[in-house]
């Protein structure tokens, strides 16, 4: 039998503990939380959950990078979100008690922490503060989606790719002299699915950005001048 009164918080040593949706769980629910908790390492390309499968619980990315993608009926796919450490995924299906509408797949070697569905349910029902934090994640997802809808409607594909590469560089890049350099975590095809164009167009967008002098690109290696953050892709 598990001793509930001296179980350590399973997220206690995580760098994102303070912001964790599970942080508000106290002694009473800790046993259940600890029982449902799993840590799972992922190799690049490994699927975390597949589209149209039942929710296994709530996932939290603790290392690496996970892509959320929907496979469309017509064979195409759309990248809806990149999930970084600290991000919670799979909460939509969990809260709606429905099947996943997206597939989650690691783009880099990663790790996720999982709280199994049954236990997550118990913890959430016993602890409104957890539900509040989940709601906050929903709101943040809504904000991100709105930004994307607005960006798609108001800025050019080239500009949006420029902005995306900037953000990726801020996360994945390292400074080398007067340049930032990164290894792109996404294929051209995934970038196309993220911007919403065909792969051929993505290739041409790269050509144009390179021609503008915004980037030096070779395969997945990308360099940009440090100061170019405020430049406009036209």
Partner DNA sequence: CGTAAATTTGAGAGCCGTCAAAACATGTGG
Partner DNA sequence: CCACATGTTTTGACGGCTCTCAAATTTACG
Minimum separation from the CB atom of position 199 to DNA (A): 5
Contact 78, 9 (CB under 8 A): no
**Residue span 128-147 as binding mask against its own copies, x where in contact by CB under 8 A, dash where not:** x--xx-xxx-xx-xxx-xx-
Close Cβ partners of 119 (under 8 Å, ≥ 6 residues apart): 32, 33, 35, 36, 37, 57
Contact flag: residue 26 with its own copies (CB under 8 A): no
Q: Which of its own copies, DNA, none does 149 bind, CB closer than 5 to 8 A by kind? A: its own copies
Contact flag: residue 181 with DNA (CB under 7 A): no
Q: Which of its own copies, DNA, none does 224 bind, CB closer than 5 to 8 A by kind? A: none
Q: Which of its own copies, DNA, none does 154 bind, CB closer than 5 to 8 A by kind? A: its own copies
Contact flag: residue 156 with DNA (CB under 7 A): yes
Of the candidates 134, 73, 79, 132, the one whose C-alpha atom is nearest the C-alpha of residue 105 is: 79
Contact flag: residue 133 with DNA (CB under 7 A): no
Three-state DSSP state, 74: coil
Contact 89, 80 (CB under 8 A): no
Given the complex with DNA, which of 25 and 192 has the nearer CB atom? 192
Minimum separation from the CB atom of position 101 to DNA (A): 23
Contact flag: residue 198 with DNA (CB under 7 A): yes
The H-assigned helical ranges of 61-156 are 91-96, 117-126, 128-154
Contact flag: residue 149 with its own copies (CB under 8 A): yes
HEC letters along 8-58: CCCCCCCCCHHHCCCCCCCHHHHHHHHHHEEEEEECCCCEEECCCCCCCEE
Given the complex with its own copies, which of 73 and 219 has the nearer CB atom? 73
């Amino acid at each position: 039998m598990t001793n509930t009164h001296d179980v350590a918080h399973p997220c206690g040593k995580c760098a994102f503990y303070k912001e964790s949706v599970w942080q508000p769980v106290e002694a009473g629910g800790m046993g259940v939380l600890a029982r449902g908790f799993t840590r799972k390492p992922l190799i690049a390309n490994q699927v975390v959950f597949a589209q149209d499968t039942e929710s296994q619980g709530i996932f939290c990315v603790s290392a690496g990078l996970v892509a959320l993608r929907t496979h469309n009926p017509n064979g195409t796919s759309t990248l809806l979100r990149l999930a970084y450490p600290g991000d919670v995924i799979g909460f939509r299906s969990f809260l709606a008690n429905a099947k996943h509408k997206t597939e989650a797949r690691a783009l880099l070697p990663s790790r996720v922490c999982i709280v199994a569905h049954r236990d997550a349910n118990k913890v959430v029902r016993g602890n409104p503060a957890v539900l509040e934090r989940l709601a906050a994640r929903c709101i943040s997802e809504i904000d991100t989606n709105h930004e994307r809808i607005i960006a798609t409607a108001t800025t050019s594909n080239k500009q949006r790719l420029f902005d995306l590469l900037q953000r990726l560089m801020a996360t994945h890049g390292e400074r080398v002299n007067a340049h930032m350099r990164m290894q792109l975590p996404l294929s051209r095809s995934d970038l196309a699915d993220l911007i919403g164009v065909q792969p051929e167009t993505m290739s041409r967008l790269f050509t144009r950005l390179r021609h503008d002098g915004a980037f030096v690109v070779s395969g997945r290696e990308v360099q940009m001048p440090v100061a170019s953050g405020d430049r406009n892709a036209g």
